[in-house]
Structure 1
């Protein structure tokens, strides 16, 4: 499988990408990380970019994620909001776990917000739903659909028994 090649291919699996804990607030449009590829106080930022940026991109498809390398003396995260404001978060000399914990508190959605959004996403009042627990028991109750074969037999030209049988 070609997607399992390269450094740490576990980062490309769907299970790993869904396990990300940072879901950014709706107002955030751009998420940028500035760090250097050298230096001990940038090690946490490098690990954060390597391990957590793919998860952030997967969990937040509408947010632009930018990484800027070797342009700053100290690592930081800058989040730009839709109204033009921005927030600067210092991640100097922190490991990647501390960085993700701090970002979840500052720019992440709360657990209650995520639970409420999940409940709304799985709402059962969609008229296209049918089956147990929905308005309609069967799709045959919708006008224009073929009737249930248990109540009204299908015409012979629609049945394979008559269509494919040798004459």
Structure 2
């Protein structure tokens, strides 16, 4: 009975079109997982090159880093080119190309996934204070108005003078009459 129910459930879920939930560790392909990444690279980083082998023991940490964290780094840094080279080097390393033509090479031989993650974050990521400052400055300020803000014109704010195209301004507020008071009597 349990086998039959299990087979029916398997058929049901195979009929659902969820191709991203297949394979090893399908959680890595969910949007929520990608958004949980906290490595936002500095603006000076343009290219990240990751070199490792798939079979050697001293490459396990970098291989796991690529498996678990590379997709998050790519999601959070869409303008950074990230390249992986497999089975081309005897030792694992990460090379970063900066905007001033400098290179940063990180030797990650026999390091764990967590050590590589911490080092990568410490060396190449923006500090948390800078991220908070950027988030705060990008927030929508209700005092601003214009095409990209919540209020298109200052006249939409209560207590402000309405647009002159809709309601004519009093003559005492117009420069034509302020500088020529004789026109007010006409």
> Aligned pair in 2 of structure 1 residues 109, 135: CA closer, same or farther (>3 Å)?
farther
Aligned to 1:52: 69
Q: Distance in 1 between matches of 2:39 and 2:121?
A: 6
Aligned to 1:130: 150
Match of 1:67 among 84, 92, 95: 84
Q: Identify unmatched segments of 5+ residues in structure 1.
A: 145-167
Q: Identify unmatched segments of 5+ residues in structure 2.
A: 1-17, 166-186
Higher RCO (C-alpha under 8 Å, 6+ residues apart): 1
Q: Distance in 2 between matches of 1:135 and 1:77?
A: 55
Q: Structure 2 length normalisation: TM-score?
A: 0.69
| RMSD of aligned residue pairs (Cα, Å) | 2.3
Report deviation, 1:129.
3.2
Q: Distance in 1 between matches of 2:26 and 2:164?
A: 50
Q: How many residues align?
A: 140
Q: Structure 1 length normalisation: TM-score?
A: 0.76
Aligned to 2:172: none
Runs of at least 4 residues of structure 1 off by over 6 A?
141-144
> Aligned pair in 2 of structure 1 residues 142, 94: CA closer, same or farther (>3 Å)?
farther
Larger Rg: 2
1 or 2, which has the higher helix percentage? 2
